[in-house]
Structure 1
Amino acid sequence: MKEKIIQHFNEIFRDAPKTRKALDLKQEMMQNAMDKYDDMVAEGYLEEDAYHNVINSIGDVTDLFSETEEKNLLTLPEEDRKKRAMLNAVAVGLYIFAATVFFFFGSMGNNYWGYNFASFGFVIALLICIAPTVMLVYAANMYPDYSKKEKSDMVDAYKATKYSKNKELAVKKSIYSVIWSLTLVLYFIISFLTFEWRYTWILFLIAACLQAIVKLIFDLKNVEKDDVL
């Protein structure tokens, strides 16, 4: 029966694009079908019944052919893409503005007119950084959750899994962007406040550790999902 499952996949993927993504998709779905077949046989189903059940659960794979030519399954409407691009651009601009504000007040001296303008500029710059950080996090979460069909098949399950992975990747990239943008701003601010350039580079090591921690959190989250499934 497994040979028949392989033949079925060869047939339904006959017109698929000749790309690596299409081949990976075929292999992944075929392995899932084999696993489902083995599980049903182990549960006591007749081989013929298990075979037909697996074949009927595959769905229309032609819906996925165009997606094997695209970068990923995660797309937004044109209006939302423009909004997301605008949020990212404004966020970067605000980070630059925060650094400019600090340099401006810092250039006035630490005790000009009896006021510590450098410290004042440091506080203002940090407050300004709050807005772009929120923007980047919001932009990363603009993607809606994948809406499964009421009666999902193997194709729909693949789309949901792929969509979830791509959304997670977008969120991670935004978090990494926030970490390194804040690190760069803090590096210059603290360095100009203390003039301890030989020590402030350690901030980049801390940022690398934070990025590793974020990656570990996402990896553990995925492991928990796999255990549930």
Structure 2
Amino acid sequence: MKLGEKLYELRKEKNLSQEEVANILNVSRQTVSKWETGGTTPDFDKIVPLCNLYGITTDELLTGNKKEQTPHEFKREIQKKKAFMYSISVSLYILSVVFVIIFGNIKNLEILGICLFLITIAIATGIIIYTSMVYDNKETKKIKIKTKENNLYKTIDETLALLTLIIYMFISFLTMAWHITWIMWIIYALIMQIIKLVFNLKGNAVDEE
């Protein structure tokens, strides 16, 4: 691909007009047009600003060789996306508690509070399950660092943690026995240790990263 065609495609990808590019680079619109039609090539002092504007390296612009994303960069990108999705889920879990607190103190609206609580919990849980399935699958395909046993262990862990959270919050708000229901998390931890022991005894050491 010629340099002019490359500049044209990059500008279109950024949804910029020739006038906007010209203003950013402090050149005329006609100059940008000549670059893209192949009439002239950008001066050396405009190459770096062009690359910064379009988010590419000088090597990508001049040779067309796109830099491959390293496994570490890909993994970090996936982790950022997962963190964003999980933060939404946590916010929904908090919101579900707010529903119970608000409507639980209003006569004849207790049922509504419980319904909103369960719906919000279901949505938050669905987001977590979807995120785990989609992004863990992408990460596993791109970076061959997780075994099937690790994925199975992680799925069991996340599912059991979600179930424990749902049961814990539901029973706690229903009975208001917070001083007792927290024991569920100890039971959850013990169960996961037993499951981990089973995996290790089978010779499949699990990675809890």
TM-score (norm 2): 0.47
TM-score (norm 1): 0.44
Q: Which structure exhibits the higher relative contact order, with contacts defined as CA atoms closer than 8 Å and separated by 6 or more residues?
A: 1
